[in-house]
Amino acid sequence: MPVLTRRRPEMALLAALLVFGLVATWRLLGEWRPAAPSPAFDTSAPPPAALEAGDPRMVAQLQSRIRQEPENPAAYAALGLALLQQVRSSADPSLYTQAGQAFDEALKRDPQNLDALIGRGSLALSLHQFHEALRWGEQARAVNPHRAQVYGILGDAYVELGQYESALDAVQQMVDTRPDRSSYSRVSYLRELQGDTAGAISLMQQALAAGDSSSESARWTAVQLGHLYFNSGDLTRAETTYRQALQINPSFVHAQAGVARVQAARGQYAEAIAAYRQISAQLPLPEFVLALGELYEVTGQPDQARTQYDLVRAMQRLNASAGMDVDMELALFDAEHGTNPAQTVERARAAYSRRPSIHAADALAWALYKNGNAAEAQRYSQEALRLGTRDAAMHFRAGMIAHANGDRDTARQHLQTALNINPHFSLRHGPEARKLLAALKAG
């Protein structure tokens, strides 16, 4: 359905940092208590281990420690990690700036503070600054080559830069260093990119089984497993897995969105719209707002759809103002919903020049197609599928581009592949794919 819901490998690292950051924070706070009770935090409350990652009370504790010990680099690093984690529950891009400032304060006091270097690398990934992420990852590896998170940063950056062999090497080092939920989820994503969906599902199941089943990272991993089932067309297992995450925490928004996605795929539009409205109000992420917009569009509510699409653009402007590179995501979005195809091509080319991954190639191909340049689009469409990725939306776009170039056989093959992989891949484009495929077969 939405064009912005591709699994992002750097989010797997952030899920791992939820655990890593909590452990570092609990250890730090376990060695310290404020000199006097803070009016913002009740010191008789449960110990820090009971707090969720990114809980504002944890941030308050760390800020209090910094006021007491302003030269403690570990406190600044822990604060940066806590702020970075808080973005996941708030969708507030201004926290990226605050996290970066905290990491910089830590490194100012200790240039080799490993937690701050890892945090800086993770922040760069979150901002889609992948060359910067590589630089921070290499600095962290020079300090300590035995920390698994270092290789997660490197692997994620290489993936997004289209350097897949290097990504495989980095992730293998991560698994060798620490075979856990975070490393298994990365291998899963690489298997998915290579078209091995069964292997990706198996490894994500291993990731889910590895570690605390009640943690935030377990909920996140369950949702990623649900996405794998959904993207392979298995709505029943997808819904079961999303609901498994909700059993851990009924208010986990990403799992709620997974259930809503299944409802939309089953044609339960009223239920899906109600769910996405509530979800978007609670956690306004572009992917949720876009899903709601497309639901409005396919149910004949164009004004409401336009409102949601305008909101997506506003959100991405906020992300860009916080330093995030959103050109690739906006290029694909505008190719679908924009009004300036030439400008969209320009944005897509810029994104591809900075991060020539298969997904950037796919976005550029679709932008070129929408701008009437099917011949050049064909080149990037082929590049997008060079790993054998079984992504229904990518095959649909390849089919439409082949058809525009007069290659009926290739168009038929790609469209059939898209529907075989996942007949529910898009509320908007699924019917279009079936209609054109029927015409090609009849012709």
pLDDT band at 427 (very low <50, low <70, confident <90, very high): very high
Task: Determine the pLDDT at residue 56.
Answer: 82
Residue 53 has pLDDT above 60, yes or no: no
Burial of 302 (0-12, 13-18, 19+ CB in 10 A): exposed
User: Taking the CB of residue 284, how many other CB atoms lie within 10 A of it?
Assistant: 17
Single-letter amino acid, residue 164: Y
CA atoms lying within 13 Å on the CB side of residue 287? 15
Specify which residues 41 forms β-bridges with.
38
Residue 1 has pLDDT above 70, yes or no: no
Question: Would you say the CATH fold of 334-442 matches that of 1-178?
Answer: yes
Residue 36 has pLDDT above 90, yes or no: no
Task: Determine the pLDDT at residue 41.
Answer: 32
pLDDT band at 31 (very low <50, low <70, confident <90, very high): very low
Task: Determine the pLDDT at residue 401.
Answer: 98
pTM, full prediction: 0.89
Residue 40 has pLDDT above 50, yes or no: no
Alpha-carbon distance of 224 to 233, in angstroms, equals 14
pLDDT band at 96 (very low <50, low <70, confident <90, very high): very high
Task: Determine the pLDDT at residue 28.
Answer: 54
Which CATH architecture best describes the domain 334-442? Alpha Horseshoe (1.25)
Residue 7 has pLDDT above 80, yes or no: no
Least confident of 19-28, 109-118, 190-199, 248-257: 19-28
User: Taking the CB of residue 173, how many other CB atoms lie within 10 A of it?
Assistant: 19
Chain segment 367-405, per-residue pLDDT in tens: 999 999 999 999 999 999 999 999 999 999 999 999 999
Please list, in sequence order, all residues whose beta carbon lies within 8 angstroms of the beta carbon of residue 36, skipping any fewer than 6 positions away: none
Mean pLDDT in residue range 164-183: 97
Cβ–Cβ < 8 Å for 426, 393: yes
Residue 81 has pLDDT above 90, yes or no: yes
Task: Determine the pLDDT at residue 215.
Answer: 87
Counts for the chain of helices (H) and strands (E), in that order: 23, 0
Mean pLDDT in residue range 130-145: 98
Chain segment 267-316, per-residue pLDDT in tens: 999 999 999 999 999 999 999 999 999 999 999 999 999 999 999 999 99
Asked if the 1-178 domain carries CATH number 1.25.40.10, the reply is yes
Cβ–Cβ < 8 Å for 185, 174: no
Task: Determine the pLDDT at residue 55.
Answer: 76
CA 253 to chain centre: 14
Task: Determine the pLDDT at residue 88.
Answer: 84
Alpha-carbon distance of 238 to 261, in angstroms, equals 10
Domain map of the chain by residue range?
Answer: 1-178, 334-442
Task: Determine the pLDDT at residue 10.
Answer: 52
Tokens at 2, concatenated: 């939405």
Mean pLDDT in residue range 49-64: 75
Mean pLDDT in residue range 203-225: 93
